[in-house]
Amino acid sequence: MNKRILSIAVLAAVVFASYGAPLENEVTAEFAEEVNQANSNDSSDFKYTADQFADLKLIRYQIPGFEELDVKKKELLYYLYEAALAGRDIMYNQNYRHNLQIRKTLEAIIKNEEARNGNAKELEKLMVYTKRVWFSNGIHHHYSNQKFEPEFSRAYFEKAIGEIDAENLPLKEGQTKKDLMATLGEAIFNPDVDAKKVNLTDGEDLVAKSAVNFYSPDLTQAEVEEYYANLDKVEGNQPEYGLNTRLVKKDGKVVAETMMVGGLYSEAIEKIVFWLEKAVPLAENAQQKQTFESLITYYKTGNVEDWDKYNLNWIKDVDSRTDVVNGFIEVYNDPLGKKGSFESVVSFKDMEATKRIEAVSKEAQWFEDNSPLMEEHKKPNVTGIIGKVITVVVEAGDASPSTPIGINLPNNGWVREVGSKSVSLGNIVHAYEMSSKEGKSSLTEFAWDEAEIERSKKYGGIADLLHTDLHEVIGHASGRINKGVGTTSETLKSYASTLEEGRADLVALYYLHDQKLVDMGLIESLDAGKTAYDDYIKNGMMLQLKRLKIGDVVEEAHMRNRQMIAKWAFETGAKDSVIVKKMRDGKTFFVINDYEKLKEIFGMQLRELQRIKSEGDYEAGKKLVETYAVQVDPDLHAEVLKRYESLGIAAYGGFINPKLVPVMEGDSIVDVKVEYPESFREQMMYYGENYSFLPVK
C-alpha cells in the first residue's frame, strides 16, 4: 500500500497517501502565499484551470527552476520523461481488459471528421465521456470504481464507428467492425457487465466481481488465494512476489504472466528500457547510475530479487538532485492487494522548500519514542528516512492525471527497515491551490462559527503541509510487525490499505496538536492543530460524501480510512461530548468541544491500529472497517450533495503535464525547453498519437 496522501486542506478533505488519489478544491490565501514563496518563478498570468466537466477539474502546472538546471540534468530529465510516458498504455490495460480498445476507438472517432458529423449534442456527450476515460485511465471512475454511464446513445456510437475505415480502427486480429461494435457496446452500455473496477464488498467474490485486469475473468478469489498460499516467499516478510504479474488460468491451472521485456506488456516496457538506458550515462553520480541499471535489469528479468535490489539502490540515492519513480508499485487497484499498477513520477529536488520536511525527518526517532504505541510495537532504531519537497516534471500511469501530493516509498516492509523516501510534490500543491482561487470555498458553508473560519484562514496552509509531512515521513515509517507475523496483504487482506492509511493519518493527527511542533518552530500555536482536527472530522463525517452518488457505500481505501477514524472518534467521545453534532437552519455541523481529549482518542486509535498491524489481527481490522468505514447516512449524504451543488466545486482535480521539447544540434541535445499545453484534449490526443505502444490483443 503505498503511502501517498493528498491534502487534508483546511477547507477540504484529505485524499490519498500512496499514489493516485484526487485532490480537493479548496484553498486558503495563506497557504497559496506560502507556496508562492517556494515557487518564485511562477508567472502571474499563467492560467491554471484548463477544463471542468462531470465531477472533474483539469489543472495545468509549471516546472519552476527547470530553466536554471544545467543542460546535463535537463537531458537526463527528458529521458526519464520519455520513459514515464512510454508506459501509459499499461495502466489502461491493467484497469480493464477492454480499456485500450475503447480509448483508441474513441480517439479514432474524434479524429475522423465524417464520424463526428451529425448530432452535435451526441458528439458533445461522447467528448465528455472520452475525457472521463482519459482522466481515469479507463471506463471506471478513478476513485469510486463504478463504471461510467454514457449519456450518448449506443446507436450514435455504432454509427460513428461505421463511418470509419476499418484500417483506422483498433481491431484485434480477425475482428470485424461489427464484432468491435458488439464487444465495446456491451462493455460501455450494459450496466451489468463489469460494473465495478475494484469490488471490496464483504462476502462477495472480490476477484470475480472486480473488472480490474490483474486476473483473467474466469478466475475466482478462492483459486487466486490458493495460488498465493502455495507460493514460496523470496525473503522474510516479502510482499512483492508477483507485483508485476497477471494471473490467468491455462489448462485448468493458475499461472502468472510476468510484465517484462519479452513478456506481458513487452512493447511498452521495451520503450521504457530504451529511455532508461539513455539516462544511465547522464546519472549524477555512481549511486544513481547503479539505481538506473538495477531498474533496467528488473524490467528485463521480471524477478522479485531484482526489484528488491533496485529499491535498495533507490533509497541510497540521496545526493542526486533529480529522481524518478518508475515501476509496478501501488496495490490499491487489486482487491486482494497483491498486484502493482504502473506509475511514474519524474522530479528534481526543491532545495529551499525541503528544509521544512527535513526538520520533521530528523526528529523521526523522537516521534517514535513518544508515540502512544505499545512499547513492543515501536521501532528501537528509526533509520534511513529521507524527506524532501520535489518539483514534478511529469507523471504517468497510476499517478496521472489524478495525483497524490505526498509519496512514501518503497512499500516493501523489510526494505523500509533499511530506509525510505518521503516527498511532498511542491509544484503540484501550488498549482492546485492557485486554480482553486478562482472558485468558491466550502469553509464558510461547513464551518460552525467565525472563530473556526478565522483560525482556518490563519493556520490552514501550514496545518495541511504538516499533515502531509507527518503522514508520509513519520506515519508510514513508524511501528513494526511482530516477529513471525506475515505482511499486511497476507494478514489483513482486503482491509490492509484502509487500515494502513488510517494508521499513518493517526500518527499525523496525534502530533499536529503537540507542543513539539511549536518547539521545533514549525507552527506558532497549537491552534494549527485545532484547524487540522476541525478539517479532518468535517471531512470524514461529511465533506467527502460529495464524491458518492446517492445509494453508494464507501469503497475507496482512503475515504474508508477517514470515515473510520472520524466516526470511531465521534462515538468514542460521545459520553464526554468531545465532538457534537449540531443543527442550524436545517444544516448539520460537527463541532469539536475538547481538542485535548480528541488527541487522546486519536492516540488510542493509533495504538489499536498498530496492534492490529503488528499482530495481524484480521478480525479486529475487519470489524473496525465494516462498522465505521463503509455505510453512509442517506439523509446526511443528500444534505451534503445539496449544499455542495450551490458551490459548483468539482469533487476531483487532475493535472495536465508540461511538455519537454529537446533543442537539437545535429544528433546532440543542447537544451530542453518546457511547453505548457492549453487543453486536456490537446494533450491526450497527442499522447494517443505518440505514446501508444501496446497493441490491442
Specify the 3-state DSSP secondary structure of 238. coil
Integer angstrom CA distances of residue 537 from 364, 540, 564, 567: 26, 5, 10, 8
Average pLDDT over residues 355-374: 94
Q: Tell me what pLDDT residue 44 has.
A: 65
Question: Minimum mean pLDDT among 22-31, 655-664, 684-693: which range?
Answer: 22-31
pLDDT band at 19 (very low <50, low <70, confident <90, very high): very low
- Who's near 229: CB < 8 A, 6+ residues apart? none
Question: Minimum mean pLDDT among 5-9, 184-188, 437-441: which range?
Answer: 5-9
User: In angstroms, how far is CA 155 from the centroid of its own chain?
Assistant: 36
Tens of pLDDT, residue by residue over 187-231, are 999 999 999 999 999 999 999 999 999 999 999 999 999 998 888
Single-letter amino acid code for the residue at 444: T
E strand residue ranges, 455-541 = none
Name the H helices within 525-674: 527-541, 557-572, 595-615, 618-624, 634-645
pLDDT band at 415 (very low <50, low <70, confident <90, very high): confident
For all residues of the chain together, what is the average pLDDT?
90
Cis peptide before 401 (omega within 30 of 0): yes
Angle (deg, nearest 10), helices 496-512 and 527-541: 150
Specify the 3-state DSSP secondary structure of 609. helix
Tens of pLDDT, residue by residue over 20-62, are 333 333 333 333 334 334 333 445 689 999 999 999 999 999 9
C-alpha neighbours within 13 Å on the C-beta side of residue 691: 23
* Spatial CA neighbour of 106 closest among 126, 80, 87: 126
What string of DSSP letters covers 432-496?
HHHHHTTS--SHHHH-SSHHHHHHHHHHHHHHHHHHHHIIIIIITT---PPTT---HHHHTGGGH
Sign of CA dihedral 514, 515, 519, 525: positive
Name the H helices within 145-209: 154-162, 177-189
Q: Tell me what pLDDT residue 343 has.
A: 98
- Beta bridge partners of residue 422, listed in sequence order: 387, 408
C-alpha neighbours within 13 Å on the C-beta side of residue 492: 29
Q: Tell me what pLDDT residue 408 has.
A: 87
Alpha-carbon span 25 to 198, nearest angstrom: 25
C-alpha neighbours within 13 Å on the C-beta side of residue 244: 26
Contact of 287 with 260, CB cutoff 8 Å? no
Sign of CA dihedral 257, 276, 346, 683: negative
Contact of 538 with 545, CB cutoff 8 Å? no
Length of the chain: 697
Residue 392 host element (H or E): strand 385-397
